[in-house]
Amino acid sequence: MADLDGITIGITAERRAEDFIGALTRQGATVLHAPTIRIVPLPDDTELRAATDAVLAGPVGFTAVTTGAGFRGWLSAAEGWGLREPLLERLAASRIFARGPKAVGAVRGFGLREEFSAPEESNAELFEGLRDAGVRGERVAVQLHGTLLPELTASLRDAGADVVQAQPYRWLSPADVAPVHELVESVIAGRVHALAFTSAPAAANLLTLAGPRREELLAALRGPVLCACVGPVTAAPLEAAGVPTVQPERQRLGALVKLLVAELRIRPS
């Protein structure tokens, strides 16, 4: 008998959803997949192209890399526009600050070298490191991932930096919201034991798309339904709404699966 036999888990991810579903079903879980966001295709992203052109328009003193996937996506899009090598040359001439090991891996994968990596893998730590390095009068290229970080980028501007934001993988609501509504109904009806989240926008948009059922959904999430998030940034929209969450020590998909197994094995089905 598998650890999660008889357990139903809802997931809202679009990116790496097949990997996530496969890992959970191998543990015996029934998975309800309802993507609450969709990713704007990189080649069609006019905002990312404009940001890339802005980075290339002049020297860059610092580069902030927040995610490995986002950095690779940005370079992939630049390659499609014929701008990969000019962009790499521009970033190579800057002081590169990375959020953690995945970002560092992506940076080094393109032959670049970071000056700083945030020990706790947090955006707050990354931007604090940038401010401490002295960004006044410098152009800072910030690679974001899916969502803006207005408080953190504002702190760089307050410190005197000229900030250029490149945002690969911008997220919008799904074209088909029916699976989301079905998931919401299943949660409210008590047919779902846990929800698992891998991004803050996906968590936030689930609450938005719940519409008039939002309060009923929140009541379920504050009660019998386990909410597992890959990390504190992902958990923030839920916790702001009064929903308790659990998070693995390491912000990795495999660690999230192990946490779900550990938590759900000891809960009544």
pLDDT at 268: 55
Closest alpha carbon to 256 in 180, 187, 195: 195
| Per-residue pLDDT reduced to its tens digit, 72-130 | 999 999 999 999 999 999 999 999 999 989 899 999 999 999 999 999 888 899 999 99
Contact between 114 and 104 under an 8 Å Cβ cutoff? The reply is: yes
Q: What is the token pair recorded at 265?
A: 């094995």
Residue 1: band (very low, low, confident or very high) from pLDDT cuts 50, 70, 90: low
* Residue 110 token pair: 């393109």
Residues 6+ apart with CB under 8 A from 46: none
User: Using an 8 Å Cβ cutoff, are 217 and 239 in contact?
Assistant: no
The pLDDT > 90 percentage for the chain reads 75
Distance, in Å, from the CA atom of 64 to the CA atom of 223, rounded to the nearest integer, reads: 39
Give CATH for domain 8-37+173-265: 3.40.50.10090
Question: What is the average per-residue pLDDT within 157-180?
Answer: 92
Q: Where residue 204 falls among pLDDT bands split at 50, 70, 90?
A: very high
User: How is residue 103 written in tokens?
Assistant: 């970002």
Query: What pLDDT, on the 0 to 100 scale, is given for residue 145?
Result: 79
Exposed e or buried b per residue across 97-118, where buried means at least 16 C-beta atoms within 10 angstroms of its C-beta:
bbbbebbbebbeeeebebebbb
Q: Decide which of 42 and 213 is more confident.
A: 213
Contact between residue 171 and residue 92 where contact means Cβ atoms under 8 Å apart? no
pLDDT of residue 13: 85
Question: Among 3.30.429.10, 3.40.50.10090, 2.40.50.100, 3.10.20.310, what is the CATH number of 42-171?
Answer: 3.40.50.10090
Most confident of 50-64, 112-126, 144-158, 160-174: 50-64
The reply to whether 42-171 shares the fold of 8-37+173-265 is: yes
pTM recorded for the entire structure: 0.68
CA of residue 188 relative to chain centroid, distance: 26
Q: What is the DSSP string of 200-238?
A: HHHHHHHHHHTGGGHHHHHHHHTTTSEEEESSHHHHHHH
Q: What's CA 141's distance to the chain center, in Å?
A: 19
Residue of 16 and 249 predicted with greater confidence:
249
Question: At residue 190, does pLDDT exceed 60?
Answer: yes
List the domain boundaries for the chain: 8-37+173-265, 42-171
Q: What is the pLDDT of residue 201?
A: 87
Span of 12-26, 55-69, 199-213, 214-228 with lowest mean pLDDT = 12-26
In tens, the pLDDT along 22-46 reads: 999 999 999 999 999 987 777 778 9
SS3 134: coil
Which band of pLDDT confidence, cut at 50, 70 and 90, is reported for residue 186? Answer: very high
The pLDDT score that the predictor gives to residue 120 is 86
Of 37-41, 259-263, 265-269, which range is least confident?
265-269
CA 115 to chain centre: 23
Check: CB of residue 141 under 8 Å from CB of residue 60.
Answer: yes
Q: For tokens 């891998």, what's the residue? A: 198
Length of the chain measured in residues: 269
